[in-house]
Amino acid sequence: MLTTAHANGQAKASHTPDNVAIKPQRMGFEFDEKVPRYWLDNNYLISHTMNALSVLFPEGEQFFVDSVRAFRDQINDPKLKAEVRGFIGQEAMHSLEHITMNQHVRDQGMPVEEMEKDLKVILDLARKLPKRHQLAVTCALEHITAMMADMLLERDDVREDMHETMRPLWVWHAIEETEHKAVAYDVFQQVGGTYAERAFYQLFATAALGVVATWFTGRMVMKDRKHFSVKGAAKGMWRMWGKDGAFSSLIPAWAEYFKPDFHPWDKDNSELIGRFKAQIQQYIAPQYKSGNRRTLQ
């Protein structure tokens, strides 16, 4: 088993490849009337599913940051300390950019504010868990987001299904999720997290995410039910959960998490970061070309 926590606390704790830099970058994305209502595969159901996931990010990423920050003083590896700072900064940028996207979704008549309030109630309940258990939840959800990020960067068909006005946001987010995919996990390992904790909370977090994401998607679908079609819904379900579907294809990677010696960088996909990071630079708004230091509080 990949163990980084030792009694003297001096063991190397970071296992992020040296060619991966975890640095936050504000992008300044804007969304206007050029964004089609159904921006993913021109499909009603898939677009609402991804809109619902976007609603989860600002509050969810604040939870991730809080769970990692709670153990920052127990980290001795200088490299991991720096990566935690990068992780916090990147999650801050994700929150800010998805707030902008969520405002666009709200302007389409979706009940975003009500969903955000409901999500905060759920996450406040999760905050009553012991601190290390909260960190285990974060590790589990970071694994899921890392799987989705890897799938998006690997699969041309998924990226090409996204409208050009939305694609840069999701590609940029996928790049940064890949860069910091092991930070929460390495912190969890260093502070004595156990296999039982991470395995249990992977099951727990997956179930919770599935329920909440389905609930939020359903609320958007009901708000937009005048555009519902059985054919469109069936096509969307197949694209997500059918043979080689965007989500069904992730099941083997999800199961990898239960290996006793699992580590997020067992699959070194750092090559994808370099390939797409150069492309995404053109989408940085001029005012953020020199970076942005704002972080989540």
> Is the CB of residue 13 less than 8 Å from the CB of residue 84?
no
Residue pLDDT, tens place only, 44-102: 999 999 999 999 999 999 999 999 999 999 999 999 999 999 999 999 999 999 999 99
DSSP string, 214-253: HHHHHHHHHHTGGG--HHHHHHHHHHHHSTT-TTGGGHHH
| Bridge partners, residue 162, by sequence | 40
Q: Domain-by-domain residue ranges, the chain?
A: 44-284
Residue pLDDT, tens place only, 19-38: 999 999 999 999 999 999 99
| Average pLDDT of the chain, as a whole number | 93
Residue 283 reports pLDDT greater than 50: yes
Confidence of residue 13 (pLDDT cuts 50, 70, 90): confident
Percent of the chain with pLDDT over 70: 94
Q: Please name the residues in contact with 282: beta carbons below 8 A apart, sequence gap of 6 or more.
A: none
Q: What is the per-residue pLDDT for 289?
A: 84
Query: Residue 266 is which amino acid?
Result: D
Whether pTM > 0.85 for this model: the answer is yes
> Is the CB of residue 98 less than 8 Å from the CB of residue 58?
yes
CA–CA separation, 38 vs 51, rounded Å?
10
CA–CA separation, 185 vs 15, rounded Å?
10
pLDDT average, residue stretch 134-140: 98
Residue pLDDT, tens place only, 158-214: 999 999 999 999 999 999 999 999 999 999 999 999 999 999 999 999 999 999 999
CA–CA separation, 76 vs 30, rounded Å?
40
